[in-house]
Amino acid sequence: MNEIVWPTIDSKHLIVDSKQMLILEKEMFSDGMPQEALMEKAGIQISRWLLKKKSLLKHGVTVFIGPGHNGGDGAVIARELFLKGFYVQVWCPFPIKKTLTNNHLNYLTSIGVTKLVEPPDANGKEIWIDAVFGNNQTRKVDDKLIKLFNQKFHKKYGKVVSIDIPTGLCPDKGKPFLDIAVKADYTLVIGLYKIGLTQDSALPFVGELHHIDVGMPTSKLSKVDKKIFKITYKDIKNIDLPSLPKNSNKHKRGRTLLIAGSEKYPGAAYLALKGAISSGAGYISAVLPKLVAESIWQVAPEIVLKETMQSNKNGNSTLFSALKNIDLNAFDSVAVGPGIGIDNDDWQKSKDFLISYEGLLILDADALNRISKSKLGLNFFLERRYKTWITPHSKEFRRLFPEIKSDTNLGLALDAAKEFNISILLKGANSIVADNKKVWQLFGTDSQTARAGLGDLLSGFVAGSSAIDLTFCGNITTDFFAKYVLLHSFAASKCKRGSNASAIGDELSKIMRNIKMRQIS
């Protein structure tokens, strides 16, 4: 099948690093776009955004104008708000270096805008606009300036709005250059989202992110080498999953196998199975510890029990005796790991069954921990020649890939995916899905719903959903993985019965049915 591009390659979804942004801007300028025009457009669009929130402006506006073109954007904002009748004052914490910015500043004073000589008072009620450095930041900033902003932020007398990037925050790493950066209530992102803004480490600084469209040409965006997409709950409406023929029976609606649970962690098996059931997969099989197998018919009678797993002396499951009796290639997807516990000797004997499995292998939790502790280690992925998806959280990732270093979680996931030819979900506040070509960064998801067991539910849901789509497509790309993860998060945010994993599984079932019905209609 042709590769599905989801979401759309546009300025609302594409994420770039600071150098990519500068290259795109230079290309626009070389094509004939005047720098003055781009500055005007950015400043006017931001002014329009602010004018829609007049409650922010009722006590007046103080614009901090930086030495470069970000300061020029701030000057345009100051001009537009002043001309609309708001009280506006500006302060330049550093000498102005760009002629264009200086020209805008001179015009401001000529029309009556107050130019402060001393720093503004953080106890005032006016809104402060941080237009100091933006995307061009490369080093630490005077901490007195940042402390002044953060004094304002913490007093809550008036909001702080950063233009493009909060001052002091690295646009690529999402971390302060020094110990602190400006804490903004809102960050208004010009043109394209920068990588640093969507990282977990940036959350204490960026506040609410809002996109300011300045007309980046789609033809330019499609040529960006490293495709990183920002996805939010708004993208749910654009999710299309394959529709199965109406005459398909249970065997043609996805066959998945889940290997989960142990005497120590029996609940993980139940939750993984709940996730698989919520996907709507036609044929769900399981390999379970005896403790769970004896009672599974009472809670999930539709599950086909293939084998039971024995337990070692510590209550962890052993896979080998079960796997040797199963033809894994009879399944479209196989998920291994939730709650199975650690047994290095058992993994050494069992790994070859999984390496040779030709379908989609989904590895979660203790399966990943077993790989990290095994003799074969990461060579497991290199020896396996078939599609593999893994779902570590940050600690599991570090145990699994101790040699991979990057300044961001996004970089970690992308580098590991490239080196080992796998697709990775790196869980976090802003979870990341990556393969060797693309990255999908979840943003704006509901972190308040994070609970134990949701990862087990997700593993089962991914296994069941992928089995369905593999039945129809024959092959699926990593954007499907990203869709499943986003749907799982969305279900958690919408669950009115609480945020426990079982209730969220029920919500997932409703969402999946609604998507399929929408596509049919």
Please give the C-alpha separations between residue 111 and each of 4, 80, 114, 115, 410, in angstroms, as whole numbers. 53, 11, 9, 11, 46
Q: Is 14-223's fold the same as 237-520's?
A: no
Question: How far apart, in whole angstroms, are the C-alpha atoms of residue 254 and residue 97?
Answer: 62
Q: Judging by DSSP bridges, how do beta strands 432-434 and 193-194 pair with one another?
A: unpaired
Give me the residue spans of the domains in the chain: 14-223, 237-520
> How would you write 94-105 as a 3-class SS string?
CCCCCHHHHHHH
Q: Is the pLDDT of residue 376 over 90?
A: yes
Between 44 and 249, residue with greater pLDDT: 44
Place of tokens 């602190």: 180
In residues, how long is the chain?
521
- Would you say 11 and 191 are in contact if contact means Cβ atoms under 8 Å apart? yes
Average pLDDT over residues 371-392: 97
Place of tokens 């990057």: 406
| Contacts with 429 (C-beta within 8 Å, 6 or more apart), sequence order | 200, 203, 445, 447
Per cent of the chain over pLDDT 90 is 84
Residue 127 backbone phi and psi in degrees, to 5: -75, 140
pLDDT in the model for residue 138? 84
Burial 396-405 (b: 16+ CB within 10 A, else e): bbeebbeebe
pLDDT digits (tens, 9 = 90+) for 50-95: 999 999 999 999 999 999 999 999 999 999 999 999 999 999 999 9
Between 240 and 329, residue with greater pLDDT: 329
Q: How confident is the model at residue 495 (pLDDT cuts 50, 70, 90)?
A: confident
pLDDT digits (tens, 9 = 90+) for 239-298: 988 776 665 555 678 999 999 999 999 999 999 999 999 999 999 999 999 999 999 888
Average pLDDT over residues 184-192: 98
Angle at 290 between CA 288 and CA 296, to 5 degrees: 65
- Would you say 389 and 367 are in contact if contact means Cβ atoms under 8 Å apart? no
pLDDT in the model for residue 520? 40
Question: How far apart, in whole angstroms, are the C-alpha atoms of residue 157 and residue 61?
Answer: 13
Please give the C-alpha separations between residue 378 and each of 98, 348, 372, 397, in angstroms, as whole numbers. 51, 13, 7, 12
pLDDT digits (tens, 9 = 90+) for 394-439: 999 999 999 999 999 999 999 999 999 999 999 998 999 999 999 9
Closest Cα partner for 485 from 275, 337, 336? Answer: 275
Please give the C-alpha separations between residue 5 and each of 9, 67, 169, 480, in angstroms, as whole numbers. 8, 40, 31, 10
Q: How many CB atoms lie within 10 A of CB 178?
A: 13
Q: Is the pLDDT of residue 8 over 80?
A: yes
Domain 237-520, classified CATH 3.40.1350.10, yes or no: no
Between 473 and 329, residue with greater pLDDT: 329
Average pLDDT over residues 331-352: 97
| Span 14-223 CATH architecture | 3-Layer(aba) Sandwich (3.40)
Region of poorest pLDDT, from 280-289, 328-337, 489-498: 489-498
Per cent of the chain over pLDDT 70 is 94
Average pLDDT over residues 375-397: 97
Place of tokens 């495709």: 227
Over the chain, what is the mean pLDDT?
Answer: 93
Q: Is the pLDDT of residue 4 over 60?
A: no
Closest Cα partner for 411 from 429, 391, 426? Answer: 426
For residue 478, give the amino acid letter.
Answer: T
Model's pTM, two decimal places? 0.93
Average pLDDT over residues 326-330: 98
- Would you say 299 and 319 are in contact if contact means Cβ atoms under 8 Å apart? no
Please give the C-alpha separations between residue 396 and each of 121, 424, 507, in angstroms, as whole numbers. 47, 12, 28
